[in-house]
Amino acid sequence: MNRIEMGEALGIDLAEFTGTTSYHRCSPYFPNVLLTDGTRYMGDKLGCFWLFDLIGLLQKTPRIAKHPELQRLQFWHLLVADDASAKLNCEWDKDELVYSHEIPFTDFPTTPEPLCLYSQRLDLRVVGEKGIGWVIHLPSEY
């Protein structure tokens, strides 16, 4: 299966996720970043937890951390090129780009549409902890 076929299959798999039954820790490095069932499935299937770590890391970038519109909801788009490079864009609204991060190489599948993830502010008391965090979810889980 080539990268384009893998991307098409991924789109079909991820469309099955609507809502989530639980939240999952992304990484010990980013304890305030949680994944839904759909994003956890994606991480397990593709080994792409690096993508969620990168989103967690980029929360510290001043253009993201200080942007008033990004304090509740963020839109992340991963655009994978034919040469296996990629670009991860953060938007606060449709076509309102705030930050773009170049990725020189990825084995992430090439998808017909850019992969879209939402990052939403979450009171961690929902999962029995203190503080505020972020949950990364698929558009179909919103």
- Structural domain of residue 128, as residue ranges? 3-15+23-141
What digits encode the pLDDT tens for the residues 21-56? 999 988 999 988 999 999 999 999 999 999 999 999
Q: What is the mean pLDDT of residues 5-16?
A: 86
Q: Considering only residues 113 and 64, tell me which one the structure prediction assigns the higher pLDDT.
A: 64
CATH of the domain at 101: 3.10.450.150
Question: What's the pTM value of the predicted model, to 2 decimals?
Answer: 0.90
Q: Which of these, 4, 32, 37, 33, lies nearest to 22 by C-alpha position? A: 37
* pLDDT tens digits along 79-133: 999 899 999 999 998 789 999 999 999 999 887 677 889 989 888 887 777 888 8
Alpha-carbon distances, residue 51 vs 1, 117, 123 (angstroms): 22, 10, 22
Q: How many domains does the chain fold into?
A: 1
The amino acid sitting at 87 is K
Residue 66 confidence (pLDDT) = 95
